[in-house]
Chains A and B, each alone.
Chain A
Amino acid sequence: MRPHPPWLSRHYLALSAAAILSACLVAACSSSGSSSTGTTNTSSPTNTKPIVIGASLSLTGDFSADGQAFERGYKLWASDVNSSGGLLGRQVQLKILNDNSSPTQAQTNYQTLFSSDKVDLAFGPFSSLLTTPSASVAARYGYALVEGAGGAPTVFNSPANQSAHNIFDVSLPIEDELIPFVNWVASLPPGQRPKTAAYPMADDPFADPPVQLAQQKLQALGVKTVYSKIFPAENASYKPAADQVANTGAQAVLLGSTDVPTVSAFMQAFEQQHYNPKMFICAAGPDQGASFTSAVGKANATGMMVPNGWYPGYANPASQKMVNEYVAKYGGSPSDVNADVAEAYSVGQVMAQAVTATKGTDNPKIITYLHSGVTISTVQGPVRFDNFGKNSSAAAFTFQWQQQGTAFKQVLPVSAAGSVSIINPKPNWTS
Chain B
Amino acid sequence: MARQIYQAIVDGILVGGVYALMAVGLTLIFGVLDIINIAQGVLVILGAYLSYTLSVRIHLDLFLGLLITVPAMFVIGVVIQWAFIRRLRGRERTSMTLLVTYAVALIIEGILYEIYGPNPKQLNASYVQSSVHVFGFYLSYIYLYGFALALVLVAAIYALLYRTGFGRSVRATMQHETAARLIGIDVNRVAALTFGVGVAVTAAGGMMFGATNSFNPNSGYDLISRLLAIVILGGLGSIGGALVASVFMLTLESLVTIWSPEWAIVVFYAALVVVLVIRPTGFFGRQPVRAQ
Q: Do chains A and B touch in the complex (CB under 8 A)?
A: yes
Complex formed: what's the CA distance from A192 to B255 in Å? Answer: 34
Asked whether A241 and B119 contact (CB < 8 A) given A234-B222, A265-B213, A272-B129, the answer is: no
Q: Does A243 lie at the interface of the complex (its beta carbon under 8 Å from any beta carbon of B)? A: yes
Least CB separation from B217: chain A residue: A64
Return the contact of A243 from the options B11, B120, B129 (Cβ within 8 A).
B11
Return the contact of A274 from the options B8, B131, B258 (Cβ within 8 A).
B131
Asked whether, in the complex, the Cβ of B214 is within 8 Å of the Cβ of A261, the reply is yes
| CB within 8 Å of B: which A214-237 residues | 229-232, 234-237
* Chain A proximity of B176: nearest CB distance (Å): 36
Complex formed: what's the CA distance from A424 to B54 in Å? Answer: 38
Q: Does A61 lie at the interface of the complex (its beta carbon under 8 Å from any beta carbon of B)? A: yes
| CB within 8 Å of B: which A291-307 residues | 291, 295, 297
Overall SS of chain B's interface? helix
Return the contact of B261 from the options A68, A229, A265 (Cβ within 8 A).
A229
Which residues of B are found within 8 Å of A429, using beta-carbon distances? 129
Which residues of B are found within 8 Å of A62, using beta-carbon distances? 218
| CB within 8 Å of A: which B244-284 residues | 250, 253-254, 257-258, 260-262, 264-265
Interface residues of B, count at CB 8 A = 41
Least CB separation from B127: chain A residue: A431
Complex formed: what's the CA distance from A274 to B132 in Å? Answer: 10
Overall SS of chain A's interface? helix
Which residues of B are found within 8 Å of A244, using beta-carbon distances? 4, 7-8, 257-258
- Chain B residues proximal to chain A, CB less than 8 Å: 3-4, 7-8, 11-12, 15, 113, 118-122, 124, 126, 128-131, 133, 138, 140, 212-216, 218-219, 222, 226, 250, 253-254, 257-258, 260-262, 264-265
Contact with B along A234-270 (1 / 0, CB 8 A): 1111111101100100000000000111001100100
Asked whether A235 and B260 contact (CB < 8 A) given A431-B129, A431-B130, the answer is: no
Asked whether, in the complex, the Cβ of A273 is within 8 Å of the Cβ of B260, the reply is no
Which residues of B are found within 8 Å of A60, using beta-carbon distances? 113, 118
Scoring B120, B140, B218, B253 by chain A CB atoms within 10 A of each residue's CB, the highest score goes to B120
Which residues of A are found within 8 Å of B118, using beta-carbon distances? 60, 64-65, 68
Which residues of B are found within 8 Å of A274, using beta-carbon distances? 131, 133, 138
Asked whether, in the complex, the Cβ of A247 is within 8 Å of the Cβ of B130, the reply is no
Least CB separation from A101: chain B residue: B218
Scoring B3, B218, B253, B257 by chain A CB atoms within 10 A of each residue's CB, the highest score goes to B257
Can you list 17 A-B pairs, Cβ within 8 angstroms, ordered by A?
Answer: A68-B118, A230-B261, A231-B261, A232-B265, A237-B261, A239-B212, A240-B8, A240-B12, A240-B15, A240-B254, A240-B257, A244-B257, A264-B120, A272-B130, A272-B138, A274-B131, A431-B130
Least CB separation from A291: chain B residue: B119
Q: Does A203 lie at the interface of the complex (its beta carbon under 8 Å from any beta carbon of B)? A: yes
Asked whether, in the complex, the Cβ of B15 is within 8 Å of the Cβ of A239, the reply is yes
Least CB separation from B110: chain A residue: A60
Q: Does A271 lie at the interface of the complex (its beta carbon under 8 Å from any beta carbon of B)? A: yes
* Chain A proximity of B135: nearest CB distance (Å): 14
Contact with B along A366-381 (1 / 0, CB 8 A): 0000000000000000
Complex formed: what's the CA distance from A232 to B263 in Å? Answer: 9
* Chain A proximity of B142: nearest CB distance (Å): 8
Q: A65-B118, A239-B15 are in contact. List 19 more A-B contacts (CB 8 A).
A: A62-B218, A65-B119, A231-B261, A232-B264, A234-B222, A235-B213, A235-B215, A237-B264, A239-B212, A240-B254, A260-B120, A261-B213, A261-B214, A268-B128, A271-B130, A272-B129, A274-B131, A295-B214, A431-B126
Which residues of B are found within 8 Å of A240, using beta-carbon distances? 8, 11-12, 15, 253-254, 257, 261, 264
Which residues of A are found within 8 Å of B130, using beta-carbon distances? 271-272, 431
